[in-house]
């Protein structure tokens, strides 16, 4: 059994490669390394079960041999990244999803789309169930990601309905853990990095906006269960433990025991005021719920960040 994982050099994609290999699959990772890194799969080098091809999946995908699963995870995912690469983000969500679906069709493979809680935009409803259609500004700076993913969901459902393709859609909520880039720009990497190097911790807006952070191992387990299920509709996977960003920054400050101050910076445009997954569906159909508490997940991520900084210091 062989799976093609697009974006397999990224934070989530590389954990997914590990998980599929552990389950006995061969994995072909496709990534153009715009935001991903070969370091994320360096530990798999030499494994007969793993192969990497540098390829931009917004261009036609050609894979010789049989493929039983296509998991489409390629996309910038951090707001600063998709603001830096707006066209690539739109292309990988639209053309990239079309190409990945085409590959799945040609190989008669199962297809899984990595979608996002950003489909709900700045939600009027909280927590967000899958039945909520969202509140998205299509022409705002985040629209390049949100609308690309909404299109990706639409084309995935069209392939399912009109071509009978065996598809899954996971709506991924904020996730954290080892292999996030030190300067990825998202809240947790920023806070941890700033706390570790003693820079002021940047909270955007008044910090009252909320997020719900899921540890990466829980997320990957949920995605695998969805992949194994027969559910074709979008399914939320995330941790419903909601926290304000200011509280989150305080947690990181306390963990690192830094005296670095918290500074308030302007809130980016269209930044969602609240975000929390309703995981009733995942609990019911996948018998899944997150297990790793925030304290434990933060500890593990902190260890990874410390190692990364230490190896960077050694190199320089
Ligand atoms: N945020 C912040 N300081 C930072 C980075 C992010 O206060 O240095 C805020 C951001 O404005 C948002 C929340 O933290 O309200 C989560 O941002 P992130 O980029 O992690 O992901 P998002 O959920 O917005 O996609």
Phi, psi of 165 (to 5 degrees): -65, 145
d(CA 141, CA 269): 7
Q: Give residue 298 CA to ligand 1 midpoint distance, Å.
A: 16
Would you name the residues annotated as active-site residues? Answer: 145
- 158 and 253 assigned to the same domain: no
Report the predicted TM-score, pTM, of the whole model to 2 decimal places: 0.97
Dump pLDDT digits (tens) for 179-215. 999 999 999 999 999 999 999 999 999 999 999 999 9
Is 213 strand, coil or helix? coil
Residue 192 lies in a domain: yes
- 10 and 123 assigned to the same domain: yes
Residue 58 lies in a domain: yes
Residue 53 lies in a domain: yes
Residue 69 lies in a domain: yes
Dump pLDDT digits (tens) for 251-295. 999 999 999 999 999 999 999 999 999 999 999 999 999 999 999
Q: Give residue 185 CA to ligand 1 midpoint distance, Å.
A: 8
Mutate to test the pocket of ligand 1, among 78, 143, 245 (most ligand atoms within 8 A of CB): 245
Residue 282 lies in a domain: no
Assess whether the C-beta atom of 12 lies below 6 angstroms from ligand 1. Answer: no
- 150 and 129 assigned to the same domain: yes
Q: Are 212 and 239 in contact (CB under 8 A)?
A: yes
Residue 19 lies in a domain: yes
Q: Whose CA is closest to atom 18 on ligand 1?
A: 186
- 111 and 136 assigned to the same domain: yes
What confidence score (pLDDT) does residue 75 get?
98
Dihedral sign (CA 159, 164, 166, 169): positive
Closest atom of ligand 1 relative to the 194 alpha carbon: 8
Dump pLDDT digits (tens) for 28-62. 999 999 999 999 999 998 999 999 999 999 999 99
- 205 and 131 assigned to the same domain: no
Closest atom of ligand 1 relative to the 248 alpha carbon: 14
Assess whether the C-beta atom of 245 lies below 6 angstroms from ligand 1. Answer: yes
- 218 and 268 assigned to the same domain: no
What confidence score (pLDDT) does residue 130 get?
98
- 267 and 223 assigned to the same domain: no
Average pLDDT over residues 85-112: 98
Token pair, residue 88, equals 């690539």
- 228 and 246 assigned to the same domain: no
Residue 182 lies in a domain: no
- For residue 192, give every residue at least 6 positions away whose Cβ sits within 8 Å of its Cβ, in sequence order, or none: 252, 256, 301, 302, 305
Could you tell me the residue range of the domain that residue 268 belongs to? 187-210+241-274+293-315
Q: How far apart are the first and last CA of the chain?
A: 42
Closest atom of ligand 1 relative to the 191 alpha carbon: 8
**CATH number of the CATH domain containing 263:** 3.90.25.10
In the numeric block, the tokens 């269960």 are attached to 225
Assess whether the C-beta atom of 116 lies below 6 angstroms from ligand 1. Answer: no
Assess whether the C-beta atom of 114 lies below 6 angstroms from ligand 1. Answer: no
Dump pLDDT digits (tens) for 65-96. 999 999 999 999 999 999 999 999 999 999 99
HEC string for 107-135? HCCEEEEEEEHHHHECCCCCCECCCCCCE
What confidence score (pLDDT) does residue 313 get?
79
Element (H, E) at 85: none
In the numeric block, the tokens 């302007």 are attached to 266
- 108 and 85 assigned to the same domain: yes
**CATH number of the CATH domain containing 30:** 3.40.50.720
- 141 and 193 assigned to the same domain: no
Q: Give the Cα-Cα-Cα angle 29, 85, 213 (nearest 5 degrees).
A: 70
Residue 181 lies in a domain: no
- 155 and 270 assigned to the same domain: no
- 33 and 137 assigned to the same domain: yes
The number of domains in the chain is 2
């Amino acid at each position: 059994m062989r799976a093609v994982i697009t974006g397999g050099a990224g934070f989530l994609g590389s954990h997914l490669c590990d998980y599929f290999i552990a389950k006995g699959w061969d994995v072909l990772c496709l990534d153009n390394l715009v935001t991903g890194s070969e370091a994320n799969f360096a530990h798999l080098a030499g494994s007969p079960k793993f192969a990497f091809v540098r390829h931009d999946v917004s261009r036609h995908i050609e894979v010789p041999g049989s493929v039983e699963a296509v998991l489409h995870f390629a996309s910038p995912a951090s707001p600063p990244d998709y603001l830096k690469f707006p066209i690539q983000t739109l292309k990988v969500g639209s053309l990239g999803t079309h190409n990945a679906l085409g590959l799945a069709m040609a190989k008669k493979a199962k297809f899984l789309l990595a979608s996002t809680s950003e489909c709900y935009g700045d939600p009027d409803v909280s927590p967000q169930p899958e039945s909520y259609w969202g509140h998205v500004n299509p022409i705002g700076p985040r629209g390049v990601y949100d609308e690309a993913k909404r299109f990706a969901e639409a084309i995935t459902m069209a392939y399912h309905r009109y071509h009978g393709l065996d598809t899954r859609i996971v709506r991924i909520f904020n996730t954290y853990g080892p292999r996030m880039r030190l300067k990825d720009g998202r809240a947790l990497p920023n806070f941890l990095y700033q706390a570790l190097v003693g820079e002021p911790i940047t909270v955007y807006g008044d910090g009252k906006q909320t997020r719900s952070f899921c540890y990466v191992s829980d997320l990957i387990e949920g995605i695998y269960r969805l992949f194994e299920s027969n559910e074709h509709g979008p399914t939320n996977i995330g941790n419903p433990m909601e926290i304000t960003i200011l509280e989150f920054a305080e947690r990181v400050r306390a963990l690192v025991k830094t005296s670095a101050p918290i500074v308030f910076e302007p809130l980016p445009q269209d930044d969602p005021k609240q975000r929390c997954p309703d995981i009733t569906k995942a609990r019911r159909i996948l018998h899944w719920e997150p297990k790793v508490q925030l304290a434990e997940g933060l500890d593990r991520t902190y260890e990874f960040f410390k190692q990364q900084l230490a190896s960077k210091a050694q190199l320089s």
